[in-house]
Homo-oligomer: A and B are copies of this chain.
Amino acid sequence: MTFRAEVFVTPKAVVNDPQGLTIRQGLRSLGFEGVQEVRAGKYLVLTLESPDRDTALARLDDMARTLLANAVIEDYRIEITAVRETVAP
């Protein structure tokens, strides 16, 4: 089965986020009032083959911990949807 996974990687709440601060400052300089906070993270969309949903999710969790996110300073969230089933002939 083919799965489409979305991985959201965000800096932990206690960690400084200079990119987010810079974006907030940029928005203010451009006249956008009322923006209190900006947190900047990564949005990864993966297409992967896996025998079933649970296996896919376990693998993605492994990938996130190993490569996609830095667990010391980042949190991650994974959302997964099946996009197509391979039908046997």
Contact = CB atoms under 8 A, between A and B. Distances in A.
A68 interface: yes
Per assembly, the copies of the chain total 2
Interface of A is mostly: strand
Nearest to A17: B45
B10 A35 contact: no
Closest 5 CB pairs of A and B: A43-B43, A34-B49, A41-B43, A37-B47, A39-B45
Interface of A: 2, 8-10, 20, 23, 26-27, 30, 32, 34-50, 59, 62-63, 66-68
Given A37-B47, A42-B42, 5 more contacts: A8-B43, A23-B44, A26-B67, A36-B47, A40-B43
